[in-house]
Amino acid sequence: MLYEAIVEELLNEMKSGQLQPGDKLQSIREAAHVFGCSRNTVIRAYGELERRHRIYAVPQSGYYVAHRNHSSIEGTRIESAAQDIIDFEWAGPDRSAMPYRDFQHCLNEAIERYREDMFTYSSGQGLSSLRFQLSRHLRDLQVFTPPERIYVVTGSQQALSLLTGLPFPNGKQNIVVEQPVHAGMVALLQGYIGEVFGISYEEGGMDLERLEALFRDRDVKFFYTVSRFHNPTGYSHTNEARKKMVELARQYDVYIIEDDYMGDLDGDPKNDPMFAYDPSGRVIYVKSFSKVMLPGLRLGLAVLPDGLREGFQRAKAVADVHSPLLTQGALEVYLESGMFAAHIGRMREIYRRKAVLLQEAYRKHLPPGTAHTGSYSGFYTTIELPAPLRAQAVADHLLGRGVRVHPAQHLFLPEFRKEGVIRLSVSQVEEGLLEPGIQAIGDGIRELLRLRSGVKFVKRG
């Protein structure tokens, strides 16, 4: 039997109600026996149904029929994402790979599970059962922490905002951030009362001697770093650099906010977060669910040292009492069922492949004089344009050629500002469009350089 026939058969059973949402499908071995085909054929059929979000896999358990009450959801989201331009600007997660159906199932389950709790306010720290699941999940990222130290926040931006506003146990005032840094952090720091120092994040890392000098001489409260798949460069620190930074933090009594917003996408278990090197409680680990799941969830977490817990809890209560119960509950179900782990496995593969294709396309199509950053996964990289091109003019020109990119000048503190850098996110771009997109960017840059150098084109005819 062909795999398409099995797909058809199972879809018919779902349509007729023989198979209900939540029902477990036959194991691969049983199905191969029943359909009289090889196990590989069943695996292919189940894979296809999973891709269409009609079933979902739970590791070590099996395959289940997904809920499908609102057939419009998938259609409208994908339709609205339909691209007539190649969009390297939009930095939300890959729409086509998002587990709407599975998550819908989790939301339904959460409404049932927390029906009574919805009538009252709940813990500002976050649901204890969710924190238990988060603590288990964090172990996979080499972050070993009890649930008591985990604080659920309304997006990791909230953790950054609350921490920036809090007095720290070291009694210091100033902040050090990598340059460039994501727009949310730039905006947050604009009104900061202390001084903000930047440190350049280059290929191969950062100048650790300068970092040490800042820590030693500048009354630094915390150093904010995105340890993997940095936004916008895509760079990740090496284990050696992470260790050294943690050691400097201990030596000079500085806290580190380690923003591991895309840590889930790192498939290499040898890459440790800074948190894993921190015996002194100076690393605050922050994580987002916006890049690997859905930004609309507005969920993130912070793992806090003792000296900050009370102040943070108070600030969180003032900000929004607690993060929404329903999405917390749904994330709990998603983690507990193993769906999150399966989803992460798929995401890792998608972004790893895209990173390889992107780097190949950069090498092939960008003109000399153009530099680009590299990453082995994640969403972001940057292109440094040849002088005298400016990012905004290039972005406008490329839009006319059907490609959207993000001018990156606002991702720098004023004294680090560069006018010739664009950021690319691969999250919305299908694999097959990566190379044509980069080719169009390369051609667009060449075209602008020719125009700039005054070469005149004469129209024939």
Ligand X SMILES: Cc1ncc(COP(=O)(O)O)c(C=O)c1O
Residues at the site binding ligand X, with contacts judged by CB under 6 A: 155-157, 182, 184, 226, 231, 259, 261, 288, 290, 295, 300
Cβ nearer to ligand X, comparing 222 with 261:
261
Cβ nearer to ligand X, comparing 225 with 370:
225
Sheet with 283-288: list strands edge to edge: 150-153, 300-303, 283-288, 255-259, 220-225, 174-179, 196-200
Whole-angstrom distance, CA of residue 200 vs CA of residue 417: 11
Cβ nearer to ligand X, comparing 63 with 380:
380
Cβ nearer to ligand X, comparing 290 with 373:
290
Cβ nearer to ligand X, comparing 56 with 201:
201
Least CB distance from residue 230 to ligand X, whole Å? 7
Least CB distance from residue 261 to ligand X, whole Å? 4
Two structure tokens written together for 174:
């100033």
Least CB distance from residue 326 to ligand X, whole Å? 17
Least CB distance from residue 182 to ligand X, whole Å? 4
Least CB distance from residue 126 to ligand X, whole Å? 14
Whole-angstrom distance, CA of residue 232 vs CA of residue 109: 37
Least CB distance from residue 356 to ligand X, whole Å? 22
Cβ nearer to ligand X, comparing 28 with 189:
189
Whole-angstrom distance, CA of residue 300 vs CA of residue 159: 8
Cβ nearer to ligand X, comparing 302 with 438:
302
Least CB distance from residue 131 to ligand X, whole Å? 17
Cβ nearer to ligand X, comparing 41 with 225:
225
Residue in the shown chain whose Cβ atom is closest to ligand X: 155
Q: Which of 221, 220, 237, 234 is nearest to 182 (CA)?
A: 234
Whole-angstrom distance, CA of residue 69 vs CA of residue 74: 11
Cβ nearer to ligand X, comparing 259 with 278:
259
Least CB distance from residue 179 to ligand X, whole Å? 13
Least CB distance from residue 93 to ligand X, whole Å? 10
Least CB distance from residue 214 to ligand X, whole Å? 20
Cβ nearer to ligand X, comparing 57 with 422:
422
Whole-angstrom distance, CA of residue 359 vs CA of residue 364: 9
Cβ nearer to ligand X, comparing 214 with 286:
286
Least CB distance from residue 315 to ligand X, whole Å? 16
Based on the number of CB atoms within 10 Å of its own CB, is 217 exposed (0-12), middle (13-18) or buried (19 or more)? exposed
